[in-house]
Amino acid sequence: MAITIEFNEEKNVIIGRITGVMNKQQLRQYTLEMNQFIHQKETRLILSDYREARFPLSMIDVFNLPDSHNLLLKTLGSNVHSYKRALVFDKKDFEMATFFENVAVNRGQKVKIFLEEEDALAWLASN
């Protein structure tokens, strides 16, 4: 697994890209790295690109991700409910991603799934 994180100054968006197999421990590592970047750049707009990632997660794992993400961020002094997150997935993972989106939104998180980065950036820029 490889993580790259960059800041798009023009759009005030942090963009994280993941490649390779992504399990729960690696998602945790990504969250830790992203959280540091969020505090450095002082933005709440996040785009995560998972198109090159593979997810050997069960539906129960996916169901529990929004709550575990929220708890991890709370321990770091952050609040997932203050972020607006656009998640870009490959179409092969769209069903799993949509399930995650539904669970996260039902828990009060601002998150939306996309297949194209341009659409994700446009949504982040909107009110």
State the pLDDT at residue 102. Answer: 97
Return the half-sphere exposure (C-beta side, CA atoms, 13 A cut-off) of residue 16: 23
Q: What is the mean pLDDT of each run of 10 residues along the chain (127 residues)?
A: 92 94 86 89 93 91 91 90 96 95 97 97 92
What gap in Å lies between CA 103 and CA 99, rounded to an integer? 6
State the pLDDT at residue 127. Answer: 72
Other Cβ atoms less than 10 A from the Cβ of 12: the count is 14
What gap in Å lies between CA 78 and CA 105, rounded to an integer? 18
State the pLDDT at residue 122. Answer: 97
- Whole-model pTM: value is 0.91
Fold of the 2-125 domain: Transcription Regulator spoIIAA (3.30.750)
